[in-house]
Chains A and B, each alone.
Chain A
């Protein structure tokens, strides 16, 4: 039951996001670009930090060897 509710909630969020994307994409191309672009900027910046941790990890391993 819990899982079912989760799936329904996720589906609703997805539907909302799709609606938003369709409306923004049709009438507000720049708004759409902002939504996609900002998400990308955040993800790239976060990925940079994760990469940093990977680099640190690699350096740590080489030193140990």
Chain B
């Protein structure tokens, strides 16, 4: 018997720790590349200001990186500690990209990040630049393998269920790596990280420009970040469209939830809802405002194709659920008797077995064998309803993500324009918007995560393994213990992180840190702790 409270607490813990981890990851991804760009300018021009620039933003990178590494440890182990059935069921194919990530990417990133910070005096200029590029490459390759793993959860290709080992077995490496979902998501996620980092550097530079501090330094950082962000924010939208199309092709319930489609659309009139309050309970909108003739071409890239609504999707799921129940009962019989007849019965419906597992939570004592014939229709109906993710969450996470994503393009466009004309200080509103926008891309990344992962529900592996079936069989006490611990530790971490980020951003470039306090000769003039900077 699976305890539903334990499953809910496990989901809560995973969502909290993953969302928390993902507060820091995008900045690491993007800032590593941005640092490489800055150091490239240093090596090309030879101007010490760009070295200082790389080191200053590198310091902030370090503060962020440490907490990203720490919270990443949690993610690597949580599959095993909280999702044992999941790990057993797909470990053969899901664990592989995670292991390769360590082997190929994380080792590289972590080893060279040490040299990046410590090696300025021991490496030649080009060698240090190469190290910085390897850190950037390593962190982005990490993202690649993680998203290949995630792509498998979204669209399980390259593996086949084996009734003898009761798990999905890896069958095609190429299919796993070149999974369309993994590809589009990798580009979308990393470039979203580029946007996050660009906004961060631009916003902090804007802060200096507004306060007329470190102007030469800040104007140059602003320029690099604005251009970096402008192209990235354009690219991220393109990829967003590609992902939406994949959801239309492969995960229709997710798309229907995102667009709030309770009913199948009538092309080409179907309106794109701009504002709505979807009510999951009654499956209708309390309020809805839309723009007609937009939805169909946007999603289907045609004028005549209709998009199935939630009512149609539930109807389509019902026969799969009936077949799935037959498949799972046959599988259980095969597991216990090894009879060829049971195996044959399983093989007949094996592709729908996930829907059978999904029905387990509604069966008496979670046992499909105990479903009475007269109860079957009601259980099938409840299971069909459960195949639809939460519409309200999907609808609004998606809209906030998209609206802010487009807003970023506008911000970066103005910022880049005035920066290229060197007239930023005449337009303080651009600087103010840039400064106040620093946290927004982080928020948008979180929305993106919610759209992708909450939209995958009720599955942990789409169509094959329900989230409900995936969890470890813990007691509630275990979960309370770990949840309390995570909340305490993570709250302390975020407080320390924000404090240090603000402190070091305020101190600005040129501050040698407490590191050199013991050795730095007392400055003859100017503020203590600051080196002389001729370009100010």
Contacts and interface: CB of A to CB of B under 8 A. Distances in A.
In the complex, A touching B (Cβ < 8 A): yes
Interface of A: 27-31, 33-34, 37-38, 40-42, 44-53, 55
Contacts of A41: 33, 37, 194, 228, 231-232, 235
Given A30-B186, A31-B183, A34-B186, A51 B420 contact: yes
Contacts of B180: 30
Give 7 nearest A-B pairs by CB, closest first. A30-B183, A45-B228, A48-B227, A49-B41, A27-B178, A45-B37, A42-B37
B187 A40 contact: no
A46 B224 contact: yes
A46 B41 contact: yes
Given A45-B34, A46-B40, A33 B187 contact: yes
Nearest to A47: B227
B521 interface: no
B223 A52 contact: yes
Nearest to B232: A41
A46 B37 contact: yes
B152 to A, nearest CB: 15
A49 B224 contact: yes
A46 B178 contact: no
Contacts of A38: 33, 140, 190, 194
B422 A55 contact: yes
Interface string B168-200: 000000100110100110110011001000000
B34 A50 contact: no
A34 B187 contact: yes
A interface, by DSSP: helix, strand, loop or mixed? helix
A53 to B, nearest CB: 6
A4 B473 CA distance: 64
B178 A28 contact: yes
Contacts of B224: 45-46, 48-49
A60 to B, nearest CB: 12
Nearest to B183: A30
18 contacts: A30-B187, A33-B187, A34-B191, A37-B187, A38-B140, A38-B190, A38-B194, A40-B231, A41-B33, A41-B228, A42-B33, A45-B34, A46-B44, A48-B420, A49-B41, A50-B41, A51-B223, A52-B422
Interface in B65-88: none
B47 interface: yes
A41 B136 CA distance: 13
Nearest to B238: A33
B242 interface: yes
B209 interface: no
Contacts of B11: none
Contacts of B183: 28-31
A37 B33 CA distance: 12
Contact of A45 (B47, B140, B184, B227): B227
B382 interface: no
Given A28-B178, A33-B187, A50 B33 contact: no
A40 B178 CA distance: 23
A44 B420 contact: no
Nearest to A40: B231
A44 B187 contact: no
Given A30-B242, A49-B223, 18 more contacts: A30-B183, A31-B186, A33-B187, A34-B186, A37-B191, A37-B231, A41-B194, A41-B232, A42-B33, A42-B37, A42-B228, A44-B227, A46-B37, A46-B40, A48-B223, A49-B38, A50-B44, A53-B45
**Most A CB atoms within 10 A — which of B184, B223, B239?**
B223
A18 to B, nearest CB: 18
Nearest to A49: B41
Nearest to A48: B227
A49 B50 contact: yes
